[in-house]
């Protein structure tokens, strides 16, 4: 059976572990510096096997050696932003965590695919790519596939249609400069612009950009984890299924879209070998500029890491 290791036993990592284990796709190892948390969540998920009729094992540990023979490593480890902490403070602290994580991956799971979920996602994806030395096909970030899912959900809700009738895409950073591409969105094959007014579309685009913050505000403390874990599962399921699927992901570009030396969200064909092909969109001038601006914002953070 395939093996998926998840580094970081918080809400996102723990829920992703549950989704993967309950699917029966792979055995799961949940790794966290707080071993009791990882073990507790592993026991909790395993205790549901009988009720669900799923016979896979899940292990909880703090030992990076448990990454051995993992087909996929999902990295969710990182600190949340605390009161009084600047974005730069958070970036540097999470970069230190990523350095430790990447040493463990390189040492114990050198043949794995790496899916980065830690924030700031695009910067951490770039850092993981540099630190592991893996090809860009094998190190990429979950992020804009979550944003794309949110965009599609809001469109479906506005039009009262099934989610499977919507095609929606977000590119750019997994952050404030994300780009929900309304021009490419369709519902039952019809352009979104034929179904909603420009003002209605702009409202959905704006809400997509703020959806994460909206959820944080409603929770009062903590952030989204159900949808992020679903976005992780979408990638894991695609890789392990032996088929390929178009999924937007944060990928280190080498000239695509006129960009290089930056990880940013773009549509790609994801399959068993990871990123099989980056898909080219026919962006107009305004969209190309927005993507370049988004890349510049990511690069400014990358420079702080001095990698």
- Residue 137: predicted pLDDT: 98
Residue 84 has pLDDT above 80, yes or no: no
User: For residue 127, which of 307, 296, 301, 264 has the smallest C-alpha distance?
Assistant: 307
Same CATH topology for 3-141 and 144-305? no
- Class of domain 144-305 (CATH, top level): alpha beta
List active site positions.
174
- Binding-site residues: 8-13, 32, 81, 87, 94, 117-119, 150
Residue 115 has pLDDT above 80, yes or no: yes
Residue 81 has pLDDT above 90, yes or no: no
Residue 132 has pLDDT above 80, yes or no: yes
Residue 83 has pLDDT above 80, yes or no: no
Residue 129 has pLDDT above 80, yes or no: yes
- Residue 278 pairs in a beta bridge with 268
- Residue 86: which pLDDT band, with cuts at 50, 70 and 90? confident
Q: Work out the average pLDDT over 113-141.
A: 98
**Distances, alpha carbon 49 to alpha carbons 15, 17, 236, 280, in Å:** 15, 13, 20, 42
Residue 235 has pLDDT above 80, yes or no: yes
Q: What does the alpha-carbon distance between residue 226 and residue 267 come to, in Å, rounded to a whole number?
A: 22
Tell me the pLDDT of the chain averaged across its residues.
Answer: 96
| 304, 92 Cβ separation under 8 angstroms | yes
User: For residue 6, which of 34, 39, 28 has the smallest C-alpha distance?
Assistant: 28
- Residue 144: which pLDDT band, with cuts at 50, 70 and 90? very high
The two tokens of residue 1 are 């059976």
Non-local CB neighbours of 288 within 8 Å, separated by 6+ positions: 257, 258
Own/partner contacts of 158-164, CB < 8 Å, gap of 24 or more, are 158/196, 158/200, 158/204, 159/187, 159/195, 159/196, 161/187, 161/188
Q: How far is C-alpha 187 from the geometric centre of its chain's CA atoms?
A: 24
- Residue 297: predicted pLDDT: 94
| Domain map (residue ranges) of the chain | 3-141, 144-305
Pairing verdict, β 26-31 and 2-7 = parallel
| 56, 42 Cβ separation under 8 angstroms | no
- Residue 80: which pLDDT band, with cuts at 50, 70 and 90? confident
Non-local CB neighbours of 54 within 8 Å, separated by 6+ positions: 21, 22, 23, 24, 48
Over the stretch 253-280, which tens digit does the pLDDT of each residue have? 999 999 999 999 999 999 999 999 999 9
- Residue 306: predicted pLDDT: 80
- Binding-site residues for substrate: 81, 87, 119, 150
The two tokens of residue 247 are 């999924």
**Distances, alpha carbon 96 to alpha carbons 90, 129, 130, 132, 248, in Å:** 10, 15, 14, 14, 27
| 149, 227 Cβ separation under 8 angstroms | yes
- Residue 272: predicted pLDDT: 97
| 91, 123 Cβ separation under 8 angstroms | yes
Planar angle of CA 184, 185, 187, nearest 5 degrees: 140
The DSSP symbol for 172 reads: B
Over the stretch 19-50, which tens digit does the pLDDT of each residue have? 999 999 999 999 999 999 999 999 999 999 99
Q: How far is C-alpha 35 from the geometric centre of its chain's CA atoms?
A: 24
- Residue 90: predicted pLDDT: 86
Q: What does the alpha-carbon distance between residue 270 and residue 289 come to, in Å, rounded to a whole number?
A: 26
The two tokens of residue 55 are 């016979």
Residue 166 has pLDDT above 80, yes or no: yes
Length of the chain: 307
Q: In the chain, pLDDT over 90 holds for what percent of residues?
A: 93
Residue 200 has pLDDT above 90, yes or no: yes
| 5, 22 Cβ separation under 8 angstroms | no
According to the CATH classification, is domain 3-141 in 1.10.600.10? Answer: no
Q: What does the alpha-carbon distance between residue 49 and residue 60 come to, in Å, rounded to a whole number?
A: 16
The H-or-E segment that residue 159 falls in is helix 144-159
Residue 139 has pLDDT above 80, yes or no: yes
Over the stretch 42-62, which tens digit does the pLDDT of each residue have? 999 999 999 999 999 999 999
């Amino acid at each position: 059976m395939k093996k998926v290791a998840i580094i970081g036993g918080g809400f996102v990592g723990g829920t992703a572990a549950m989704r993967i284990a309950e699917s029966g796709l792979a055995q799961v190892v949940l790794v966290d510096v707080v071993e009791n948390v990882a073990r507790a969540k592993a026991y909790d998920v395993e205790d549901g096997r009988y009720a669900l009729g799923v016979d896979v094992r899940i292990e909880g540990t703090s030992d990076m050696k448990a990454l051995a023979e993992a087909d996929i490593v999902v990295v969710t480890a990182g600190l949340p932003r605390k009161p009084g902490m600047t974005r730069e403070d958070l970036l540097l602290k999470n970069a230190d965590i990523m350095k430790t994580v990447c040493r463990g991956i390189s040492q114990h799971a050198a043949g794995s695919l790496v899916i980065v979920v830690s924030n700031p996602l695009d910067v951490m994806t770039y850092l993981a790519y540099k630190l592991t030395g893996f090809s860009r096909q094998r190190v990429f970030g979950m992020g804009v596939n979550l944003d794309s899912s949110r965009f599609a959900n809001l469109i479906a809700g506005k039009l009262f249609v099934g989610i499977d009738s919507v095609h929606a895409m977000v590119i750019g950073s997994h952050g404030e400069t994300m780009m929900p591409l309304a021009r490419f969105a369709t519902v039952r094959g019809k352009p979104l612009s034929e179904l909603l007014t420009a003002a209605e579309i702009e409202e959905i685009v704006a809400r997509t950009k703020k959806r994460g913050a909206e959820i944080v505000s409603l929770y009062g403390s903590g952030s989204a984890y159900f949808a992020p874990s679903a976005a992780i599962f979408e990638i894991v399921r695609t890789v392990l299924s032996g088929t390929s699927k178009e999924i937007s992901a944060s990928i280190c570009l080498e000239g695509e879209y006129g960009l290089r030396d930056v990880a940013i969200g773009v549509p790609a064909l994801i399959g068993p070998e990871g990123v099989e092909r980056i898909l080219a969109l026919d962006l107009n001038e305004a969209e190309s500029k927005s993507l370049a601006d988004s890349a510049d914002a990511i690069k400014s953070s990358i420079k702080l890491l001095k990698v």
